[in-house]
Structures are given as C-alpha cells and as structure tokens.
Amino acid sequence: MDHDIHDVIDGRYKLLEVVGQGGHGVVYRALDQKRGAHVAVKCLHPEFASDPAFKARMRREARAMGALSGTSATQVFAFSEAPDGTLYIVMEFLKGRDLETTLRHMEAQNQRLPLDRLKELFRPIVDTLEAAHARGIVHRDLKPANIFVLETDPDGPSSTRSNGSPEYKNGPASVSPLLKSDPPWAIGDSNPPASGDDASSGPQIYAGAASRGCVRLLDFGLVKVMQADPLTREGAIPGSPSYIAPEVWKGRPQEIDHRIDIYSLGAVLFRALAGRVPFMGASRVDILLAAARGPRPSLHALRPDLPPEVDAWVAQALAITPEARFQDVRALWGALEPLLDRVARAPDGAARSGPVPP
C-alpha cells in the first residue's frame, strides 16, 4: 500500500518525510519509535511488492548490505514485510550529499578535489569493494551519485548515522574484529528476518576492517551475487552509461564478474581527477562505441600536474577487455595512490583544488 507522512510502518517506524524516490520505491526519513533514532526506510511501491522478481532483488540488496556490515556500505538494521504487504528495508539515515553533486559544484568553478580529500573519500570505497568481491558480491552501478559524502565522520563524536541515538552507535554499524557466521537471512537464504529484527547479527567483514570513513556506498539494487542465479534478464543493461564496462553492453548478465566494478571505479576516479567522464557522446550508443573501440583518454593531458605514468594507469583501469584490467580493486588503488602521493609531495600539491588547466 501507499503511505503518507506520519504513517507507522509495522507498528514501529513513523514516516517523517520523503528523502528520495524512484520508479520502484520511496525512501523516507523515519523515527524508529522503539529506539528513538532517525533511520531511512526504503519501501517498494505496491505494484512491485507482489512481483517475485522485485521482491528477490530487494531481498538481495538487503542481504548484500547486511553482509558488508562494518564497511562503508550503507548499514541495514532490518528487512521485512509488514502485515499490510509493505516490503521495506531500514537503513542508517545519512546527512550530506552525493559525490555527483560535489563534483558538479567543483567543476562549475573549474576546481577539482584536493588529492588528500580524494584519498580520504576513496580509501573506504576500495575497502568496501574489496570486502564485497571477496564475498562474491558485485555492485554493478558504481558512479558518483552512489557515493555519499557525509557531513561529519560517523565514527567520531558527532555521528550522523543515528541522529545521536546511543542505541545505534554501538549496534549494527559497529566494527567487530571477528568474522561471524551468516545469520538466518544472509545471502542464499529465502527468508527475510521477522518484523523488527535487527541486522546486527550479520557478519562483520574482515578482521581489522578499516574505519567506515566519511563516505557511504549506496544503492545495491543492481547487486549481483555471483553464486546466485542472475536477476537481470538477458539483453538488459544494468548501470549508468558513462561508468559501464564494455562487456556489460553485451547484455549477458551471466558473463559479468567483479571486474566491471574495477572499470567503473576507474571511471569514477578519472572523473574526480579530470573533471569529466572518460568517454562522452550524445547518446548511449556514442558512449558505447567510444568505450568499446576508442583510444583510452589521457588523464595527464587534462591534469598535467599528475605524472605522465597516470596514463598507463588509465589504460589498465579502463581496459576494454576484463583480462587486461587490474584484476582487483586493491591493485587498481595501489597503482594510483603512489602517483597521487608524488604530486602531494610537490609544493602545494596536496592542497590543489583548482583552478586547473582547461
């Protein structure tokens, strides 16, 4: 059923305002009346809630984020179906803005992210993707709009994830030094948790995981679990055109693996450094042809303050074939970071945020 502001989902989550919506669902800021904390509640539109494919996709999204508890993936507190048929996910409520908005604002002023800030934002994303890929989870829609930059560091005293509620500060989002076993509703199981169940029993990824950082990786709605049957139909093209790996355009989801995320991350990093996407065109077809057949762009030409070797990094990060790419996100980041550090060691290098050469 459709919901109005002030409705209470499942007797617990009072809807306060709409903070996002799309073709398949609505995201609300809500009050968890049991804990007195602000949360985000994502509800599937009624016309999709009874569709087994959409229910399976939402269930997979919740499990993927639950499996990545302790990383910079958006944290899930609950996933269930209310008595009225509403299928919903309860997540941490975030304050800030997405990286797309941040980059557009800077690009309009001919500025770029300072390199120290870029490293601060992307290190947690690399950690999160590494954890996801280790569990056979592929995001499939990496782009600046799906990287959310928080107003404050959530691991500091002014946490944004729970509006200051002490009950959430050491709950589902806390980092455990142990890798726990999967809970009953983890990836591969067909049953979501009971109404109101928390995701805190989910596995805490990686002993000694890094701080969750000042970013969140959003929207696992297109997530692919490599051990599971693909949900994307043959011929469908998931993802966003400027960040899609060439093999995705074939529309054969069974051939997709974690290396599409490596390509997409390379494209996002290129955008953050260059102020433009690597391949441009008037249509999706134009972008496809440029990405699948054209030469790899020169980042050094767009950012002469970066070492010339950065173009070899671009060529490998955005390689047309998966086999020619970096084979994991750690290798991609490990090859780029020393080049950024070299610039940072130069006078005023780390502080450079613009203007930059056209």
How many other β-carbons are positioned within 10 Å of the β-carbon of residue 276?
14
- 250 annotated binding-site participant: no
Q: Kindly state the tokens that stand for 160.
A: 């944004």
- Burial class (CB within 10 angstroms; exposed 0-12, middle 13-18, buried 19+) of 1: exposed
Q: Which residues contact 109 (CB under 8 A, 6 or more apart)?
A: 354, 355
**Residue (of 273, 155, 142) closest to 217 by Cα position:** 142
Tell me the backbone φ, ψ of residue 92, rounded to 5 degrees: -65, 145
Helix, strand, or coil (residue 81)? strand
What's at 343, amino acid-wise?
Answer: V
What is the tally of helices (H) and strands (E) in the chain?
10, 11
d(CA 66, CA 220): 11
* Nearest residue to 302 (alpha-carbon basis) of 242, 265, 263, 356: 356
CB of 172 within 8 A of CB of 90? Answer: no
Nearest Cα to 145, choosing from 320, 299, 297, 268?
A: 268
Distance CA 200, CA 207 (A): 16
According to DSSP, residue 69 is labeled B
Name the pairing type of β-strands 25-32 and 37-44: antiparallel
The whole-angstrom separation of Cα 207 and Cα 167 is 24
59 and 53 Cβ atoms separated by less than 8 Å = no
The tokens describing 272, both together, are 């953050």
Instruction: Mark the binding-site residues for ATP, compressed into ranges.
Output: 42
Binding-site residues sit at: 42
